[in-house]
A and B are shown apart, each in its own frame.
Chain A
Amino acid sequence: MTKLLAILSIVLLQGCAGLTGLIPSFWDDNQSHRIVSVRLDIERLDCKAQQKPQVERIRDDLAWFRLYSESKGGRQADVILLTKPMSETVEDWYKRVAAEGHKDNAIYCELKKRVLTEQSTRAAKAVLGRF
């Protein structure tokens, strides 16, 4: 039985190395807190109110997450990659609302909110589910 478990461990470790060749990042209180802040920012989005300050808040929280993870260093590449698509989604939105003469579109905002809700829910589950 012990031999079987040892073999299983080796198989699992080799499989892990084959998947990415990297050890995963582990639980981090600050990352966990910040990713939930992102979810909260998105949940509180009010598309009838001015969009720019609300988008800035999400953008800042995502930037904080990225900078913290980069500063922390080794083995954080997975969570940085995880939040990159969300940052791109927010950045596109920010460019619009920051443009001169921009007029807020509530329909666009509602759809963006829907996409970001999906993205942030998935990202938070992965970040908070780590060992």
Chain B
Amino acid sequence: MSLQTLYEIAGRDDQPWAATRAAMVIAITEQYQGGGLDRSEYLEMMQDLVRMDALDAEASDIELKTMLVTAVYAVAKVV
């Protein structure tokens, strides 16, 4: 994926999470290319973004389970 594609994603309003993530990749890459980060720092930051996906998945799972418990509790009260 080119930086141009990332700029396009970063400018999208319909997918705020993707825009935020793309903006981060751009910021990290630009700092690396400009000498603000060394290679190991750059690779570590990219690994952090991968970790963010794992955290997102876990958070979504907890939120979904909470929704289900809330719904079942509500249904049980009605029944």
Task: Please list the residues of chain A having a beta carbon within 8 angstroms of any beta carbon in chain B.
Answer: 2, 5-6, 8-9, 12-13, 15-16, 19-20, 23-25, 78-79, 81-82, 84-86, 88-89, 92, 105, 107-108, 111-112, 114-115, 118-119, 122-123, 125-127, 129-131
Contacts and interface: CB of A to CB of B under 8 A. Distances in A.
A5 B79 contact: yes
Contact residues of A: prevailing secondary structure = helix
Interface of B: 20, 24, 27-28, 31, 36-37, 41, 44-45, 47-49, 51-52, 54-56, 58-59, 61-66, 68-73, 75-76, 78-79
B63 A129 contact: yes
Contacts of A112: 45, 48
A79 B62 contact: yes
A121 to B, nearest CB: 10
B59 A122 contact: yes
A6 B79 contact: yes
